[in-house]
Amino acid sequence: MILLKVGEKLKIPGFKKVIPGLSFGRFKLRDEFESDHWYVAQLEACIQSKSLSQGKIIHQHIIKNNSHIKDFTIILDKLAHLYVKCNEIEHARRLFDKIPNPSVVCWNMMIRAYAWNGPFQQAIDLYYKMLQLGVTPNKFTYPFVLKACSALQDIQVGQGIHEDVEKLGLEMDIYVCTALVDMYAKCGDLFQAQTLFNGMSKRDIVAWNAIIAGFSLHTLHKETMELLVQMQQAGIIPNSSTVVAVLPTVGQANALSQGKAIHAYSLRKMFSDSVVVGTGLLDMYAKCHDLSYARKIFDRMKQKNEICWSAMIGGYVTCDSMTNALTLFDEMVHVYGLNPTPVTLASILRACAKLTDLIKGQSLHCYMIKSGMDFDTTVGNSLISMYAKCGMMEDAVGFLEEMTSKDTVSYSGIMSGCVQNGRAEKALIIFRQMQLSGFYPDLATMMALLPACSHLAALQKVFDRMHKRDVVSWNTMIIGYGIHGQCTEALSLFHEFQVSGLKPDDVTFVAILSACSHSGLVKEGKYWFNAMNQDFKITPRMAHYICMVDLLARAGNLDEAYIFIQRMPFEPDIRVWSALLAACRTHKNIEMGEEVLKRIQELGPESTGNFVLMSNIYSSVGRWDDAAQIRTIQQHQGYKKSPGCSWVEVSGVIHGFIGGDQSHPQSASINKKLQELLVQMKRLGYSADSNFVLHDVEEEEKEQILLYHSEKIAIAFGILNISPPKPILVTKNLRICVDCHSAIKFMTLITNREIIVRDASRFHHFKNGICNCQDFW
């Protein structure tokens, strides 16, 4: 019986004391210890000292002497416990399965092991097995099994378990109830989380942190900050977990000044030495585009784990600082010897996608396979996007087909890739496959798909073939009509939808309101906004307020829109103000524009779009100096205008153009066509609308600058290469400019062609000198 090699030393201090029979040189057990009791004592010592190697020695000894053991239950229980303690979960499970009637404590231990380390489904399966065998779970069981539900975002199982909790009368237990609040909050049912939280007789800091984290993670910035105040009013002082819980929404909302205040609080409270707090702060700064501060925090962190490395790398990728991201990744792996996690890999793949670096992307794919990460849904989705962005659609689709855990995002990535690579019909086929496989499209799916439905007929095809028309498919159709400016059709479809007996949801109303807004139907929009609240009992969200502000302001009711914003039941976000600012540009209202810009700046760093809008407002009334100053501020703050790009598809190949582009092989004939069109357009009464050209230059020069806007180049190219009567479809990344909009009307008259421009906000159908948007966009 060799249990310890001769000369091997015991590594655990104090171990000798509990194993009296064990000597260093020669291994010997005294007979009186070779009993159940002896084994239990030894195993407990191993558990306490987390000694796996010593525990295995005892385990071997038990196997060799099993004929002397009277009661296996307790010994297997301890052995399983030992392996759990030492993170050998599968080993523990094998022993656990051999125990004839495990105690509740033992079941809980096993469930906990899976709830902490995964696979999370195992925790849930064990819980149901326990019930099946007639074992009654106790208040310790629930926090574990609910944690597994949270990790899986499985609200259905969570609800079932909630019913069990009520049957057992455990819902009043503060631990169990907090776990329920956490489960609902993490799964996105914030209403249920809040209801349970409000019903708690006593709310301690853990309960508060759970509800705050839920709101924060679901990007409800204002509600999160309100809860933070309420918590303090209830006499509870925020701790480091509170800080960490709040930070994600602060970053998401770009609320830099709030973030700095939280940073200061953390310094005062000495929280900032913690890796978790440091990571939260770093991420917040990166999300607010303050990379230098983020990096400062990263560099000063005393201990670093994979998560903070991933956060810093992800921050660089988000801010388009790809070189830094790749350098840091290299350092993490090769200098610090840390293994990339699925999250790290997802970020690095996103960097490859942004750089269209296929070679690096492929080598990461190899690494994924080697490390088994190709089974991770998020990493897989990032890989799909990378292949799609690099134009490698076959690789993308091939990977999707092999994916065992695909979801809506996987399909959306493929579809957006198809659309961007000129395979619109393929995108629609995949859309159908996705729905047949039981996946529901979300907003991202629709955004990816809409450019593919250049002709409404295509969408109608898709719709008619749907076997089951649900809320989502109705919404899709309504959105489709709305974005094409066909509000009447959208409203009649909405009517049909209600007749069908299904209930419209909040998305339906976003579709209805934006359809009204695109067509300038103010009265109808107001009617449905009220009806949604009163008749359909749907509380308007930020998106609905944005639509309403857009609707009122676009139609010229700027003051009404302003008052509407002031009467909102929650704080308007930047998008609400941006909608108003866009209308200030259209209606050339400088005073309000300045006021709105002030509000926008109060809300934190802003996107380029708002600078451009304000600068355009000044230009439109000839205040060139003010316009230039705004551009200077923009540049000073490091915002670069994303260049206007337009695309047009000719026999399956996508041609892309940027403003002033001369790089296309057909440039010479494009230029000739444009000059030709200009002469004819002027003859019909066109004059260059130079309001939006920054420099105060000669009339003729303005004309030439405007003539080479990307959409005009793309259209000229389309006229030359697409034979009539096929309409010319151009896609533009930004909103179409005022001059182009009026020029294209003339072009349809000159060429007798139908021209469709899908810009950042909608489709414009130009035909016979008019656009169906009625100049609302």
Partner DNA sequence: ATAGGGTTAG
What is the footprint of DNA within residues 23-62 (CB under 7 A)?
none
Instruction: Find the binder of DNA among 102, 259, 314, 480 (CB under 7 A).
Output: 314
239 forms part of the interface with DNA (CB under 7 A) = yes
Residues 631-650 that bind DNA (CB under 7 A): none
How many residues in the shown chain lie near DNA by CB under 7 A? 74
- Please classify residue 19 by burial: count the beta carbons closer than 10 Å to its beta carbon, then call 0-12 exposed, 13-18 middle and 19+ buried: buried
Stretch that binds DNA, among 304-312, 326-334, 492-500, 597-605 (CB under 7 A): 304-312
DSSP code per residue over 109-131: HHHHHHHHHS-HHHHHHHHHHHH
675: number of Cβ within 10 Å:
12
At 566, list the tokens. Answer: 């002031």
Stretch that binds DNA, among 313-321, 422-430, 747-755, 768-776 (CB under 7 A): 313-321
Stretch that binds DNA, among 159-167, 308-316, 432-440, 469-477 (CB under 7 A): 308-316
112 forms part of the interface with DNA (CB under 7 A) = yes
CB crowding 629-653: b at 16 or more within 10 Å, else e: ebbeebeeeebeeeebbbbbbeeee
Distance between CA atoms of residues 747 and 764, nearest Å: 14
Instruction: Find the binder of DNA among 51, 122, 279, 454 (CB under 7 A).
Output: 279
81 forms part of the interface with DNA (CB under 7 A) = yes
The residue (of 182 and 661) whose beta carbon lies closer to DNA is 182
CB of residue 17 vs DNA: minimum separation in angstroms? Answer: 20
3-state secondary structure of 555: coil
468: number of Cβ within 10 Å:
6
DSSP code per residue over 521-546: -HHHHHHHHHHHHHTS-----HHHHH
The residue (of 431 and 474) whose beta carbon lies closer to DNA is 431
Residue with tokens 């976000």: 573
3-state secondary structure of 393: helix
Q: Are 503 and 535 in contact, with CB atoms under 8 Å apart? A: no
* Strand-pair partners of 91: none
Stretch that binds DNA, among 63-71, 403-411, 421-429, 692-700 (CB under 7 A): 403-411
Q: Are 298 and 327 in contact, with CB atoms under 8 Å apart? A: no
CB of residue 355 vs DNA: minimum separation in angstroms? Answer: 14
At 422, list the tokens. Answer: 């000129």
108 forms part of the interface with DNA (CB under 7 A) = yes
Residues 119-138 that bind DNA (CB under 7 A): 138
Type and span of the H or E element at 488 = helix 487-499
CB of residue 265 vs DNA: minimum separation in angstroms? Answer: 13
- Amino acid identity at 208: W
- Please classify residue 554 by burial: count the beta carbons closer than 10 Å to its beta carbon, then call 0-12 exposed, 13-18 middle and 19+ buried: buried
The residue (of 342 and 482) whose beta carbon lies closer to DNA is 342
244 forms part of the interface with DNA (CB under 7 A) = yes
Instruction: Find the binder of DNA among 3, 41, 135, 206 (CB under 7 A).
Output: 206
Binding mask 404-423 for DNA (x = CB under 7 A): ---xxxx--x----------
Instruction: Find the binder of DNA among 42, 209, 519, 646 (CB under 7 A).
Output: 209
Nearest to 613 by CA among 645, 575, 647, 559: 575
CB of residue 75 vs DNA: minimum separation in angstroms? Answer: 15
The residue (of 413 and 540) whose beta carbon lies closer to DNA is 413
Instruction: Find the binder of DNA among 4, 58, 89, 109 (CB under 7 A).
Output: 109
445 forms part of the interface with DNA (CB under 7 A) = no
The residue (of 206 and 543) whose beta carbon lies closer to DNA is 206
Distance between CA atoms of residues 673 and 8, nearest Å: 89
Residue with tokens 């790290």: 344
The residue (of 186 and 758) whose beta carbon lies closer to DNA is 186
Residues 159-188 that bind DNA (CB under 7 A): 173-176, 178-179, 182, 186
Stretch that binds DNA, among 269-277, 420-428, 596-604, 685-693 (CB under 7 A): 269-277
Residue 685 backbone class (left: φ over 0; alpha: ψ -120 to 50; beta: rest): left
691 forms part of the interface with DNA (CB under 7 A) = no
Instruction: Find the binder of DNA among 77, 88, 223, 283 (CB under 7 A).
Output: 283
Instruction: Find the binder of DNA among 104, 333, 590, 705 (CB under 7 A).
Output: 104
Stretch that binds DNA, among 91-99, 101-109, 477-485, 587-595 (CB under 7 A): 101-109
The residue (of 207 and 719) whose beta carbon lies closer to DNA is 207
CB of residue 186 vs DNA: minimum separation in angstroms? Answer: 6
Stretch that binds DNA, among 210-218, 497-505, 704-712, 719-727 (CB under 7 A): 210-218
Residue with tokens 């009277």: 70
The residue (of 138 and 751) whose beta carbon lies closer to DNA is 138
Distance between CA atoms of residues 530 and 13, nearest Å: 73
Q: What are phi and psi of 771, to 5 degrees?
A: -115, 140
Residues 321-380 that bind DNA (CB under 7 A): 341-344, 346-347, 350, 376-379
150 forms part of the interface with DNA (CB under 7 A) = yes
The residue (of 389 and 762) whose beta carbon lies closer to DNA is 389
22 forms part of the interface with DNA (CB under 7 A) = no
Q: Which residues contact 666 (CB under 8 A, 6 or more apart)?
A: 717, 720, 721
3-state secondary structure of 5: coil
Distance between CA atoms of residues 281 and 295, nearest Å: 11
Work out the end-to-end distance of the chain between its first and last CA atoms, rounded to an integer number of angstroms: 86
The residue (of 200 and 628) whose beta carbon lies closer to DNA is 200
Residues 569-628 that bind DNA (CB under 7 A): none
CB of residue 279 vs DNA: minimum separation in angstroms? Answer: 3
CB of residue 182 vs DNA: minimum separation in angstroms? Answer: 4
Instruction: Tell me 27's DSSP state.
Output: B
Instruction: Tell me 335's DSSP state.
Output: I
At 120, list the tokens. Answer: 């999370």
The residue (of 8 and 71) whose beta carbon lies closer to DNA is 71
CB of residue 53 vs DNA: minimum separation in angstroms? Answer: 21
661 forms part of the interface with DNA (CB under 7 A) = no
Distance between CA atoms of residues 151 and 157, nearest Å: 12
247 forms part of the interface with DNA (CB under 7 A) = yes
The residue (of 178 and 476) whose beta carbon lies closer to DNA is 178
CB of residue 706 vs DNA: minimum separation in angstroms? Answer: 36
Q: Are 761 and 777 in contact, with CB atoms under 8 Å apart? A: yes
DSSP code per residue over 440-462: PP-HHHHHHHGGG--SHHHHHHH
